[in-house]
Structure 1
């Protein structure tokens, strides 16, 4: 569950290329690599502009190394005296800044829609290369197959990858279910591909794995923005039914591994489809969405050094907003009430506090995300009644430094719900020092995710495979 600013930035960094000429005096200092960091609150994203000169014209591309995005075309470069503007028109975004005296730094801001974020670009000779030592490299000791399957209920075709151990089947199998936000089959974010790491590890250890692009993402069809967790559960059920058609798969040993929101979806599928032999919840939720987000915001703010007074201020505001959303039955009336609540809250802050939040337009723009079908469903959804109905074996693991789905509170509620429902075949494990992505972390803050070279802890991987081998024989 990642910040709305970050999702917005991820969604809108896109294409098209136009060239712009610049005066002779500016050629040498502009050409080269310029890099900086966007502070998005809970996380940071590095931004790199690569400027070259070809046939008398300047050409620019942009990289977002932490997202694994390269060569994003820049639409236009404008230099007027000491002022610089780099435009990405289709993204409705631009960088506007001013050169320092020796032309080695441009201080300015990234503007995208109603969001304005400070950004300073520094000229550098170094290429930013992400170290991801766990990423598998061919040749693989297993079979890799691109596959498609269909959600017949919603008439959506999904694209994914099935990895099969070599040797005689049929095999135990795991279906990987991504966390919130549009994710590809590798659950790729911030330069990491955790689902690729998990699939590789499990398949090397005798478990077939199906991972797939979310609806409306990658090569899968469908409309992601209109979907809720219930829709994603139907998608996962379609994946189960597909595997039952494959001769290499043991139809009695198909399980689900869900990360974050995927850990909310897996129990829904398990209660609706008796073919699910087991589920693994990676940082799965045990609390209602409104409580998760409130607690998440509180913990991240505290880890960022925010004062207790401001933490309480934000917590009280969140609770007030969430209560309004959960009780509303009229969308127009809700929009009007949220408009007033956001404006009143911002106006009541000191100038210093307002500066930390950005412009009023930037702050109030967050409101639109709260009105999406997904958010409204997630906010109200309580996973505990569903967990009480789960009868198959369950492994629930979380990291002690997870600030997004805090381990103690959520693992406790998951265990209580399973006990209440009479499920005796479960294991609850808190893994020390791991964050929400199951990386070995220092603080657990999302801004660390991209900086950590580890993608997915070997301890967590071994915990998963050992449990599957013991429970699914």
Structure 2
């Protein structure tokens, strides 16, 4: 979802003096583990306090698009930064390569959000045998689509004891496609007329993809929908008296994407049903300038989950903050690479909350 990229500042330099004085020396270990319920082999890195003992643990779950274990987005290794800060505060953190990336096997394009949820649970099972882990206190931290994945995982497995959502998706798949694509279109350099046309055909195609997600006729229905729209759109454009039509809808690539397993699953994802099965403590953090996962998602974590009804959901809406939890100015994706890492004040909120729910 996410020129010359700025190098991320040294992680240690981003940690406040107060945190540094209390930080523990870290142990870092690269591991390989095999799935118990799949054929996937995972490559991961575990950070933990050097001092012997058993500590609460966190598994980091990535968002849309194949990512390495460090969560490198717009040139910044965000997951590495999170892992370092959280582990220095006294916790074990596992971050892993997505399917088909780095040392993890499998084919990313053939996986769904549910598969990513099951991958997270495989990591939980692995941590249950890791010497430094308190097996009664293992949680999941998900970014963007990873918010949906950790929700699915928690709904499936009682071993997950808490959730941290960072700009995490808590809306239905179809609704999120509407929001994300309209945001991209409306912030683009298209003319007002072409923005209108783009939003119109997108909504039509997304709705058909939703309706026929489980049908073998999805491809033909998408093509028919586009062709019918194109006939009407041609008449509309001719009425404008403009000489040259620059608008193009990427029909071939969209149909290929929409008929794949990830899209078929995602467009039908029912957040209210999944979140309604969750009754573990939840921390949900969003930026107020996030153009991909709107701040309204915080309300859904509160309203849809049993945890919310039991007052076990904590939310933070961060000012002037984008989808990558960076302080921003325009807050558009084009700006991500020129911004810094996640502010230590945000990381401190995560650690303080984990400390509260784990009593550690």
TM-score higher than 0.5 here?
A: yes
Give 1:391's match in structure 2, choosing from 275, 279, 285. 279
1:313 CA displacement: 3.3
Q: Deviations over 1:157-186 (max 9, x none)?
A: 101000011213101111000001111101
Aligned partner of 2:150 in structure 1 is 266
Partners of 2:306 and 2:200 in 1: how far apart?
32
SS at structure 2 position matched to 1:397: strand
Aligned partner of 1:413 in structure 2 is 300
Q: 1:249 to 1:382 in 2, by over 3 A?
A: same
Bigger radius of gyration: 1
Residues 279 and 306 of structure 2 are in contact (CA less than 8 Å); yes or no, is this contact kept in structure 1? no
Partners of 2:60 and 2:115 in 1: how far apart?
16
Q: Are positions 1:367 and 2:251 aligned together? A: no
Aligned partner of 2:202 in structure 1 is 318
Partners of 2:45 and 2:265 in 1: how far apart?
29
Aligned partner of 1:462 in structure 2 is 348
Give 1:336's match in structure 2, choosing from 220, 225, 232. 220
Residues 439 and 456 of structure 1 are in contact (CA less than 8 Å); yes or no, is this contact kept in structure 2? yes
Question: Can you give the 5+ residue segments of structure 2 that lack an aligned partner in the other structure?
Answer: 14-23
Q: 1:353 to 1:244 in 2, by over 3 A?
A: farther
TM alignment of 1:182-261, pairs within 5 A: 182-261=66-145
The structure with the greater share of residues assigned to helix is 2
TM-score (norm 2): 0.87
Partners of 2:73 and 2:349 in 1: how far apart?
23
1:141 CA displacement: 3.1
Partners of 1:204 and 1:354 in 2: how far apart?
57
Q: 1:151 to 1:442 in 2, by over 3 A?
A: same
SS at structure 2 position matched to 1:336: helix
Q: Deviations over 1:3-49 (max 9, x none)?
A: xxxxxxxxxxxxxxxxxxxxxxxxxxxxxxxxxxxxxxxxxxx3xxx
1:339 CA displacement: 2.5
RMSD: 2.4
1:214 CA displacement: 1.0
1:315 CA displacement: 2.9
Q: 1:434 to 1:352 in 2, by over 3 A?
A: farther
Partners of 1:171 and 1:424 in 2: how far apart?
25
Partners of 2:244 and 2:332 in 1: how far apart?
21
Residues 146 and 169 of structure 2 are in contact (CA less than 8 Å); yes or no, is this contact kept in structure 1? no
Partners of 1:131 and 1:393 in 2: how far apart?
35
Q: Are positions 1:276 and 2:160 aligned together? A: yes
Residues 387 and 421 of structure 1 are in contact (CA less than 8 Å); yes or no, is this contact kept in structure 2? no
SS at structure 2 position matched to 1:355: coil
Q: Are positions 1:376 and 2:264 aligned together? A: yes
Question: Can you give the 5+ residue segments of structure 1 that lack an aligned partner in the other structure?
Answer: 3-45, 47-64, 67-129
Residues 278 and 306 of structure 2 are in contact (CA less than 8 Å); yes or no, is this contact kept in structure 1? no
Aligned partner of 1:442 in structure 2 is 329
1:235 CA displacement: 0.8
Q: Which has the higher contact order (CA 8 A, sep 6+)?
A: 2
Aligned partner of 2:16 in structure 1 is none
Aligned partner of 2:57 in structure 1 is 173
1:311 CA displacement: 4.1
